[in-house]
Structure 1
Amino acid sequence: MARRLRPVGLDFVALAPVRYVFTRELSAPVEKVCGALESVPGWAEWFPRVTAARPVDAGAGRDITLTGGLRVRESVIAAEAPEVYAYRVDVTNVPGARAIAEEWRPAPAAGGGTRVRWTFATDGTAVHRPAMKAVRGGQARAFRDAMTALDRRLNT
């Protein structure tokens, strides 16, 4: 069953009751990383949890299908390369969610590559919040695997 979530802005990423921040350094340059983040269909090629991704609303939104049958319709809330790429979830089948936003911040790394910071932010019911805390480890692994695959893809 699809649920419409509360529309949130970029400020929600810093204020959400549940937030996870992950970072990883890639050898690929910032420009290539930004290009990959903004190329919605490519996500299914480097983010293992994404099984399908397509832009909607002339690029202002994204339809994403994740492993396990999770689906989200998102609105891009910031696309200011190379500083930030962020989106919020408008509609999803994730139980108990009330608001979800994700922010990607690529920045030049000391060794000439890119340091990527991903923030996952959510709010939800009394059941949703602890459930999201329980999946933190899985999100960390998914991010690590995605960044490894992205770096490999951008360097071939």
Structure 2
Amino acid sequence: MARRLRPVELDFVESAPLRLVFAAEIAAPPEAVYPALVDDVPGWACWFTGVARAASTHDGRGREVRLTGGTRFTETVLAAEPDAHYAYRVDTTNAPGLRALLEDWRLTPAGGGTRLRWTFAADGPAAFRWVMTLARPGLGRAFRKSARALDRRLSAV
């Protein structure tokens, strides 16, 4: 059953009780990466590890995401700055323990490509934060694998 999370704003990325930050460099330039994040939301299922289905909603101001294990999210897009920044918060989810979640993507030019930084900013009880801290290495591997898959996808276009 879906639960409503606490609505947070962009400043939560700095103040969240749990912040996991991952970065990778990919060959594609920001002007190719940004549309893959923002405009091709269904494409996330092709490159982001664990995403089974993703859809844009409310004329691009929202998203619905389903993970391979059955976790579901409805999200509100908070930032969409071309070639630079994309952020969204989770409004409802069936994931246990989560109280608030914001994901923040930053793109910066790097040697002809893009430095992609993903911040997972969350709140939940101490046990949730502890488990997520333990999961950090796995999330990092999944992020790096996803960044490589995105880069391959963009180079094939």
Q: 2: distance between equivalents of 1:56 and 1:134?
A: 33
Give the superposition deviation at 1:56: 1.1
Q: Give the alignment's Cα RMSD to 1 decimal.
A: 0.9
Task: Flag as ranges the 4+ runs of structure 1 deviating above 2 A.
Answer: none
Counterpart secondary structure, 1:142: helix
Superposition map of 1:10-21 within 5 A: 10-21=10-21
Secondary structure (helix, strand or coil) at the match of 1:48 reads coil
Q: Which residue of 2 aligns with 1:9?
A: 9
SS at match of 1:36: helix
TM-score, length basis structure 2: 0.96
In structure 1, runs of 5+ residues without a counterpart are none
For residue 97 of structure 1, give the secondary structure of its aligned residue in structure 2: coil
Identity %: 58
Structure 2 unmatched ranges of 5 or more: none
Find the counterpart in structure 1 of residue 102 from structure 2.
Answer: 101
Contact in 1 for aligned 2:30/2:84 (Cα 8 Å): no
CA distance in 2, matches of 1:119, 1:151: 19
Matched position secondary structure for 1:135: helix
Task: Please say if 1:152 is aligned against 2:133.
Answer: no
Q: Any idea what the Cα deviations from partners look like across 1:51-100, whole Å, max 9, x if unmatched?
A: 00001112111000112111100100000112210000000011111100
- Structure 1 Cα separation of the partners of residues 135 and 66 of structure 2: 18
User: What number of residue pairs does the alignment pair up?
Assistant: 155
* Structure 1 residue 127 displacement after superposition: 2.1
1:27 is matched with which residue?
27
